[in-house]
Copies of this chain bind each other. A is one copy, B any other.
């Protein structure tokens, strides 16, 4: 799982082993909840196989805020970093294989690699990229009609439209399942 990233980290083999050994493997079925709403997030997950969605309950309805696929890392970030109760649920969509690391272990590693400017910069960059992603998604909500947002999704995140059940996509787009179904049938008519 981690060997594919080995050459990206300027670490000794010893440190590399020490760090990667902090991760534990987990095989879990579909619809497994990895973090409950209200729980303090103490684990960061990396997906080897499967799909994870992050959602919260809004007046009895699921609202999906993010999807994650293979090789992405997942956590309720604000809860994880500040030890606050998580507002969101983390749950698998498909049967999945994930690796997790405890906050304690990760903190130790981050503290150690702080002295390596290269890794530090990459970490900061990662945060910025995440910010930019949110901005784009947010802008699309005020800018585009649902139909356009759906077309954007097909274009920019084909994994979502191909692998994720449609009612999760609807809540991700901020519309009802019925309306997404209508959008799809209208798009088919035009073709």
Nearest CB of chain B from residue A145's CB, rounded to whole Å: 11
A16 CB-CB contact with B under 8 Å: no
Select the residue from A127, A128, A131, A137 with max chain B CB neighbours within 10 A. Answer: A131
Instruction: Determine the chain B residues whose CB is within 8 A of the CB of A134 once the complex forms.
Output: 131, 134-135, 138
Distance A46 CA – B19 CA, assembled complex (angstroms): 42
Whether the Cβ atoms of B138 and A141 lie closer than 8 Å is yes
A162 at the binding interface (Cβ < 8 Å): no
Give the residue of B63, B137, B139 whose beta carbon is less than 8 angstroms from that of A65: B139
Minimum CB–CB distance for A129 against chain B, Å? 10
Q: A142 contacts B174, CB within 8 Å?
A: yes
Would A128 and B128 count as touching, CB distance under 8 A? no
A178 near B: Cβ within 8 Å? no
**Chain B residues whose C-beta falls within 8 Å of the C-beta of A174 in the assembled complex:** 141-142
Chain B residues positioned under 8 Å from A141 (CB to CB): 138, 141-142, 174
A143 interface hit (Cβ, 8 Å)? yes
CA distance A172 to B143 in the complex (A): 10
> Which residues of chain A (92-145) have a CB below 8 Å from chain B?
114, 117, 124, 127-128, 130-132, 134-135, 137-139, 141-143
On chain B, the residues within 8 Å of A70 by CB distance are none
CA distance A81 to B125 in the complex (A): 10
Does residue A78 face the partner (Cβ distance < 8 Å to B)?
yes
In the complex, what's the smallest C-beta–C-beta distance from A69 to chain B, in angstroms? 20
